[in-house]
Structure 1
Amino acid sequence: MKKKPNKNTHKIHNYEYYTSGRYIDYISRPSAVYIQNDNENRTTLLAEMDSKKLNVNLFMKSKLLINQLSEKHIDGYGFKEESKKLEGKTGLHKLFEKNLIDIDPKEAKEEFKKLENNNQFIWEITLNPGQLGIDNQMVDKNEWNEILNKHMKSLLKANKLDPNKIEGYWALHSNSKYPHIHLGFFEKETNHSNNYRQSGKFSSKSVERFKYLFENSIKTQAEYQNLFSLKNSIWNNRKEIKELFLSTIALKNKQETKSYEALSANELKILNASKVIANFYKNSKSKSYAAAKNNLEVKEAINDIYEAIVENNQKLALAVTKYKQEFESINKAKFSDKYSAGLKDEFVANEKDEFEKQIGNIIVKQCLKMNAKEKEVQTSLNYQEKDLKQDFNDDELPIGLSFYPYKYDEISKLKRMIRSLNYEFNRLSRSQKFQALRKYKKNISGVKSKVIL
């Protein structure tokens, strides 16, 4: 039976059509091939598509070689700097290559020409997933390459062909409504002893299975990539929250100590929670958040500090809101692929604990650091008061006060005044200390009415 002309090429695809190089010319023509830069992937391409406000079909058409060439301006010296990215780009690729490398069409033509007198089989396949390719945003040629290589091996083996002995060339076209692949392949060495397929025909069962696996991989590949992108975004948000949290706490620690009466509701909340945390870890060998995992009171105290700090920092609050929204998005996501669904469930289960652990460790560490500073201050005050007591009696202090005010937390203003005089006390001689104490008694008289005894 005489072969009919192909409906796309309008040419009869006989043996000479392939060996003459016309097949390679057809699948590698600039008006049809989709071109992708080496450093681009699904994430960067989709981001570019969104920024240009294009749908998948229009975006992929904009990536046709002929369209990309027409966008570049040519001056008297040839292509400008931005056009160099297209140098060597042909849109033609070799089958079973792990890395996506553009092949010179001349090289492919030479390989087909070698078959001229061999009288061996040449196979041609067009892979068009239709709307499935659009719905799953198949804009990354690396994904097409991975899926094609994986399932072509299975198809060949099912038809008693060794993938290692096959030479093939393919191109992704985006010039029509749906992106699709044109693939032509042949055996590197003629094999006339294969009685299983004397006609060169592949079994219909193997072709149907190949079609199913190819389409299913497009779905699962897109799902996996979406899951991967969501996970990365959530991890980046968590990192930002951690950095903002650390800087916020560090800033608070640098601020001047306020009197107890001047503390805001948020600051009082943090102070009271800090005491609970410090008391717990005072007798704990482990100083990590994990040590308090079974102590509800401490966990509530840590949460109180977290909420108070987030509430008081707008930038941090926005970052937390974004994190929660994306976490909820991935938590509600449905995946048809069992592997992706399992990865999602594992991520959701671990991410919440990891976030809680990281923030919890920051809060515990800062509370213990603050507590250590308080102890240093109190030790300094005790030495100072002891030194003064050697010369002066308690009777000489304002009524109701002693050198050992155990309620020093409630008289923070008094502590600051003592601290500010510390340097002066150390420099004065014993005879001058008496004058300093008089100055101290005069200053303290203005605040004694506010001191809670």
Structure 2
Amino acid sequence: MYLYFEFAKPKMKKKPNKNTHKIHNYEYYTSGRYIDYISRPSAVYIQNDNENRTTLLAEMDSKKLNVNLFMKSKLLINQLSEKHIDGYGFKEESKKLEGKTGLHKLFEKNLIDIDPKEAKEEFKKLENNNQFIWEITLNPGQLGIDNQMVDKNEWNEILNKHMKSLLKANKLDPNKIEGYWALHSNSKYPHIHLGFFEKETNHSNNYRQSGKFSSKSVERFKYLFENSIKTQAEYQNLFSLKNSIWNNRKEIKELFLSTIALKNKQETKSYEALSANELKILNASKVIANFYKNSKSKSYAAAKNNLEVKEAINDIYEAIVENNQKLALAVTKYKQEFESINKAKFSDKYSAGLKDEFVANEKDEFEKQIGNIIVKQCLKMNAKEKEVQTSLNYQEKDLKQDFNDDELPIGLSFYPYKYDEISKLKRMIRSLNYEFNRLSRSQKFQALRKYKKNISGVKSKVIL
């Protein structure tokens, strides 16, 4: 971290600046030459109002540029001279650059571009004052590149935060300070130029008598600024990952709902025509419906401790995902990003804590949302089946008035719409299959319950 600090006062003799090779005396600032220097189009980094770390890094990736080249492409002079084949495109780009100067005011929460003329006028007001003007050049070097510091909002937040501490440590009130800064990306590393002064006297009606800042406070400022770049980048990366995972979860939920809705609209198949996947869903649905028949709560949480129902819900989840390629791809992407954030390491304790909290809650939230969708749809299907069955019962009653079982061929009894032995056998097989699955599942979970009694600290996670 490189920090260059200097100051000036009327009649104060100074040596040439190491970077500009010019003498940064009091007149250099009040004449407006300093503002001209830090706001020149060939040096200032320009960022649109609606851009942030995520959008900028996405743009950088799409252009296949490294941080240094990308930030140089954002220089005001490069954006102004950029050629557009489409005339309308040029007009649109020009509109985006209207009012963009790359010059900003210190301690402004929102990043607003300042007209250099306005800043010059403020410095010019100091011509006859016997006060100090300070200048800081701050260059994080490779740290800024490694942590992809492409978002000016991050620079602004870090600068504002630690400048307040630096000023207070040197008995200056941040509320009585006026400052202007610019982010330059014209060299190997992005860096900040900041000029500031007292805009009013202290309680004794005096300006600060010394221009020097304590070396200890300056070193601490450097350390805090450097540390914030690391943690800010970590926090922003965490925030970006979390948003991506949430968006993926939302997409999965919508795809899941639309897939189930489509299945419900499809023509009802006979039991014999069902695929293995559809039979799996049917059998699992019956287990779920049977459980919730006697449950006051109709949410997924009600089945939290019931392994049989949770596996039935998971059976439906797996069957639906397996049968929908788009949904399967979305789930795969979600799992990969979840694993990525789960394995991510953060040096900042705050970011690390947020990550752990997110990982702990996200899996449960995903399971709960999908579980609730499945339960709701199963209960809806069950309600429809009851309506159909009621309708069939009434039809059967009406038809039975026209048919006498004694008059039917030997071995046959009345079945609506089907009057042959084969249909009767098929119905019997269906009932036996369902009963076999129910008993098999019941025995399986009785064994699991006995096993879980002997194992403590095991948390059941079905989905994912």
Q: TM-score, normalised by structure 2?
A: 0.85
Identify if the C-alpha distance between structure 1 residues 71 and 398 changes in structure 2 by more than 3 Å, giving closer, same or farther.
Answer: farther
Identify if the C-alpha distance between structure 1 residues 276 and 376 changes in structure 2 by more than 3 Å, giving closer, same or farther.
Answer: same
Max Rg structure: 1
Q: CA deviation at 1:423?
A: 30
Q: CA deviation at 1:8?
A: 1.9
Q: How does 1:8-407 map to 2 (within 5 A)?
A: 8-72=19-83, 80-191=91-202, 198-397=209-408, 399-403=410-414
Greater CA drift, 403-412 or 59-68: 403-412
Q: CA deviation at 1:272?
A: 1.2
Identify if the C-alpha distance between structure 1 residues 132 and 389 changes in structure 2 by more than 3 Å, giving closer, same or farther.
Answer: same
Greater CA drift, 200-209 or 67-76: 67-76
**Contact 1:93 / 1:169 at 8 angstroms: preserved in 2?**
yes
Q: CA deviation at 1:324?
A: 0.2
Identify if the C-alpha distance between structure 1 residues 47 and 17 changes in structure 2 by more than 3 Å, giving closer, same or farther.
Answer: same
Superposed CA deviations along residues 279-333 of structure 1, whole A, max 9, x for unmatched, are 1111111111111000000000100111111111111111100000000000011
Q: CA deviation at 1:441?
A: 54
Q: CA deviation at 1:420?
A: 22
**Contact 1:73 / 1:80 at 8 angstroms: preserved in 2?**
no
Q: CA deviation at 1:446?
A: 58
Q: CA deviation at 1:377?
A: 1.1
Superposed CA deviations along residues 258-295 of structure 1, whole A, max 9, x for unmatched, are 22222221111111111111111111111111110000
Greater CA drift, 311-320 or 430-439: 430-439
Identify if the C-alpha distance between structure 1 residues 3 and 444 changes in structure 2 by more than 3 Å, giving closer, same or farther.
Answer: closer
Q: CA deviation at 1:443?
A: 57
Q: CA deviation at 1:257?
A: 2.3
Partners of 1:409 and 1:219 in 2: CA distance: 78
Q: Which runs of 5+ in 2 are unaligned?
A: 1-11
Partners of 1:299 and 1:434 in 2: CA distance: 11
Q: Hey, what does 1:447 align to over in structure 2?
A: 458
Q: Which runs of 5+ in 1 are unaligned?
A: none
Q: CA deviation at 1:401?
A: 3.8
Identify if the C-alpha distance between structure 1 residues 413 and 237 changes in structure 2 by more than 3 Å, giving closer, same or farther.
Answer: farther
Greater CA drift, 81-90 or 437-446: 437-446
Identify if the C-alpha distance between structure 1 residues 419 and 111 changes in structure 2 by more than 3 Å, giving closer, same or farther.
Answer: same
Identify if the C-alpha distance between structure 1 residues 233 and 414 changes in structure 2 by more than 3 Å, giving closer, same or farther.
Answer: farther
**Contact 1:167 / 1:187 at 8 angstroms: preserved in 2?**
yes
Greater CA drift, 327-336 or 441-450: 441-450
Superposed CA deviations along residues 212-266 of structure 1, whole A, max 9, x for unmatched, are 1111111111111111111111011111111111111112122222222222211
**Contact 2:13 / 2:25 at 8 angstroms: preserved in 1?**
no
Identify if the C-alpha distance between structure 1 residues 371 and 428 changes in structure 2 by more than 3 Å, giving closer, same or farther.
Answer: closer
**Contact 1:120 / 1:190 at 8 angstroms: preserved in 2?**
no
Superposed CA deviations along residues 157-178 of structure 1, whole A, max 9, x for unmatched, are 1111000000000000000000
Partners of 1:334 and 1:430 in 2: CA distance: 42
Number of aligned positions between the proteins: 453
Identify if the C-alpha distance between structure 1 residues 192 and 430 changes in structure 2 by more than 3 Å, giving closer, same or farther.
Answer: closer
Greater CA drift, 272-281 or 188-197: 188-197
**Contact 1:49 / 1:55 at 8 angstroms: preserved in 2?**
yes
Greater CA drift, 330-339 or 244-253: 244-253
TM superposition outliers: structure 1 runs of 4+ over 6 Å: 74-79, 194-197, 404-453
Identify if the C-alpha distance between structure 1 residues 95 and 408 changes in structure 2 by more than 3 Å, giving closer, same or farther.
Answer: farther
Identify if the C-alpha distance between structure 1 residues 342 and 78 changes in structure 2 by more than 3 Å, giving closer, same or farther.
Answer: closer
Partners of 2:182 and 2:217 in 1: CA distance: 23
**Contact 1:410 / 1:452 at 8 angstroms: preserved in 2?**
no
Identify if the C-alpha distance between structure 1 residues 268 and 113 changes in structure 2 by more than 3 Å, giving closer, same or farther.
Answer: same
What percentage of residue pairs aligned between the two structures are identical? 100
**Contact 2:412 / 2:419 at 8 angstroms: preserved in 1?**
no
**Contact 2:367 / 2:463 at 8 angstroms: preserved in 1?**
no
Greater CA drift, 384-393 or 403-412: 403-412
Q: CA deviation at 1:404?
A: 6.3
Q: CA deviation at 1:6?
A: 1.4
Identify if the C-alpha distance between structure 1 residues 127 and 261 changes in structure 2 by more than 3 Å, giving closer, same or farther.
Answer: same
Superposed CA deviations along residues 134-158 of structure 1, whole A, max 9, x for unmatched, are 1111111111111111110111011
Identify if the C-alpha distance between structure 1 residues 263 and 20 changes in structure 2 by more than 3 Å, giving closer, same or farther.
Answer: same
Q: CA deviation at 1:396?
A: 3.5
Greater CA drift, 403-412 or 129-138: 403-412
Identify if the C-alpha distance between structure 1 residues 107 and 263 changes in structure 2 by more than 3 Å, giving closer, same or farther.
Answer: same
**Contact 1:382 / 1:404 at 8 angstroms: preserved in 2?**
no
**Contact 1:95 / 1:170 at 8 angstroms: preserved in 2?**
yes
Q: CA deviation at 1:427?
A: 40
**Contact 1:19 / 1:116 at 8 angstroms: preserved in 2?**
yes
Greater CA drift, 54-63 or 185-194: 185-194
**Contact 1:411 / 1:451 at 8 angstroms: preserved in 2?**
no
**Contact 2:103 / 2:114 at 8 angstroms: preserved in 1?**
yes
Superposed CA deviations along residues 383-423 of structure 1, whole A, max 9, x for unmatched, are 11111222321134454443468999999999999999999
Secondary structure of the structure 2 residue equivalent to 1:118: coil
**Contact 2:308 / 2:442 at 8 angstroms: preserved in 1?**
no
**Contact 2:311 / 2:462 at 8 angstroms: preserved in 1?**
no
Greater CA drift, 430-439 or 328-337: 430-439
Q: CA deviation at 1:374?
A: 1.1
Identify if the C-alpha distance between structure 1 residues 254 and 276 changes in structure 2 by more than 3 Å, giving closer, same or farther.
Answer: same
Partners of 2:145 and 2:190 in 1: CA distance: 8
Secondary structure of the structure 2 residue equivalent to 1:7: coil
Secondary structure of the structure 1 residue equivalent to 2:207: helix
Partners of 1:444 and 1:205 in 2: CA distance: 57
